[in-house]
Structure 1
Amino acid sequence: MGEIINVFVGQFGVQSGYEYWQQICLEHNINSYGEKLTQEQDNKENVTCFFNESEKQKYVPRCVFLDLDSTPIDEIRKSSSNFFRKDCLISGKEDCGSNYVRGKYTIGREVCNITLDQIRLESDKCDNLQGFIIHRSINGGTGAGVGNLIADRLSIDYNKKVKINSLLFPSNNIANEVVEPFNFVLGMHDILNNLDMSIMFQNEQIYQFVDNFLDIEQLDYQNVNQLISIISSSLTYSMRFGGDLNYNMANLLTNLVCYPRINNIIPSYSSSYLNFIKEKSGQPTINMLCSSLFNKQNFLVDCNPEQDKYLSCCLTARGDIYPRQMSESIKTLKSRKSIDFVDYIPTGIKVGICQKLPKNVFFQEYESKFQRDAILLANNTSISSIYLIMAEKFDKLYAKRAFVHWYVGEGMESDEFSCAREDLQALIKDYEEVSIEANQSYNEDD
């Protein structure tokens, strides 16, 4: 299938990246020293997708961690010094202070060059590099600013390779940074031009997901990052383990992104864990499992797909599931009126199936009850509602020129605010036009 390089940028990227590798190691039976715990050889397992195998028969993660604040990186250096290579853990001397411009134009540049050199070393070890997954937040300065700086360079140096974001979006009703709207709008302006696809998450919706399905009284960021790591690792599950229906990064991109700019994907998750923990019931049927993926409460982004149009989806099922069962489930899903696909994309759903039983760092105590799960990646026009909310917040701040001096003082032209805002408005209009065209076609058919 080929190799993938993971890049983790900023505090969210680094902290979620640590949980991400815990999940990956659990799935591949690799311990904290990079050693295989079982000697059984699975011919369908592709360990080298994410790992380099050393001469001492140890598996070394193919990744790079970067944060301008050294604290999160230092924590990984202390806890996982035997697992990650030291030169893959890169930290700066000064934080960018939640300022997008400081991350992209000033203090982020020097560290970015070091990171790109390390990425180049990792890519040279690959026989068939598929692409890159960049894990970061667009709320702060490092993830948005330095992350986009890295993405810009990757789009030039590795033009033919797939580049995917695993991206934390600002929540609709809560915020960790006052200047989130500025970082978001400026960050989105670059993301639209240098990345092929983004998988989106929101903390607020993850809190709601946990309230709906899990018994966790005091939710912390580690729990949030663990849940995100389940979805992020599932993105590549079919590439790392064989099954009846596999796909690689290029297949995923081709089937999900029908227009270049409409490439922000919302994830949904469902598993037999959730059934067992909350409802105390037995294994859900495959129809139940797949159907629940399209419920609003299963999505990890705060929007309502049921009220808008689906352009395309990728449904990955893991566990004791077979193609004929999935075909019947997909047929049932398409008959539901609440799942509304645009009429000019007749198939709509790409399916991936892997019979290997899923493992999960979140619910290991229930592993005997965990026989199957499913992940949905949906390209749905409802995501434009988040853009509208962030555009309104941006307009309120920018109308009074609040906090603008911090950005202009770092060397950015004030016109860039207006340019980025216009680009976001153009994206909102793109989504509106897709919805209008789909509704017109539907009315003509009626």
Structure 2
Amino acid sequence: MGGTGSRALRIALAGLGTVGAGVIRVLDTNRELIARRAGRPIEVVAVTARDRTKDRGVDLGRFAWIDDTTRLAEAEVDVVVELVGGSDGPALALARATLAAGKGFVTANKAMLAHHGLELAEAAEAAGVPLKFEAAVAGGIPVIKGLREGAAANELARVTGILNGTCNFILSKMEAEKRDFADVLAEAQALGFAEADPSFDIDGVDAAHKLAILASLSFGTKPAFDRVGIGGIRHILAADIAEAAALGYRVRLVGVAEAGAHGLFQRVHAHLVPQDHPLAHVTGATNAVVAEGNFVGRLLFQGPGAGEGPTASAVVADLIDIARGEAGPPFAMPAAALADAGEADGSDRRGRAYLRFAVADRVGVLAEIAAAMRDAGVSIESLIQRGATADGSVLVAIVTHEGPERCVAQALERLRGSQSLTGEPLWMHILG
């Protein structure tokens, strides 16, 4: 497969949804330009999808149709592109079969890579074939290539990102229009920005898949999705966003990964982001990643994190690399060199926190909360009490001074079951 030449790079394509049809459109529209950049033509020759009869707006009659997804690996092709999705099932079976057959594999499947990336990287390296996944993280933004190649000379200390467009669309709309979560989620679903079942997005799982991949590329560690701390945005109120704005912050779902002497730290949670931080200005369905290298300094990758055009263009960029004979190890270094970093203890981290309580409107409640903070060693920077909500509760917001996260956790544990609290407290980290 190595090297370039006039012979076309032959592609089999699994999945003809928005992105799959988009890949065909990109290859059709930019055919001549792509051939010049790749050094040879790139041609789809075989396809598969669930529904053979559906009109996808592209001519499928010129391609061989293969009903069994896994059999695509047996087609007379050089590369299989997987756009089916799902961490296991047909996508994983196809990936294993393709690499075992000695063919290149391109995927946009972050869930599969987060769970099985190490196994697939080992299989690709053993077979001497490329495994590429630019489209799996942050849509059309070339962040995988940027970290794997552009920043390869640097030791990266930290990678931080807004990795889910659905959450960012919801939070920035809540902020701009002072509306509550459920209302904006319903609108996002109507506009197609959110799935009918949005759990993977709004509970942080999708962003965690992407963070696990970025952490591996950044730090030379084995992908470790099972060690990502995961939180979402479904409990954030318009009042929290207004409070954050008054304090000089914006609320964003942020993934943070750091490698240090005590292991790998990975977390996706809602954060208060200072308004002078680049991530504070990322609005709508946009994604952004900030990487900090010891020689290059701070790098910002920003752009559309999903959608037909951006994601399809990332897939085709991988195909162009393969057509040129450019492969390299999937996770920036050989799989055998990837470290098992161990899991850093998040409770040891120091930082500031935003805590919001819904409490009964009665005497002594603030004293009870303050006592729990004091007894756990949490120093309060500010405490704000707002008027009653629709159910008669009062909202109390606290910003802490910098201190160990374990102290905040202990304070919240002391308040668990208190008759003064009318709902679960909300804890958001303040991005340092």
TM norm structure 2 = 0.33
More strand by share: 2
- Of structures 1 and 2, the larger Rg is shown by 2
Q: TM-score normalized by structure 1?
A: 0.32
Larger % of helix: which?
A: 1
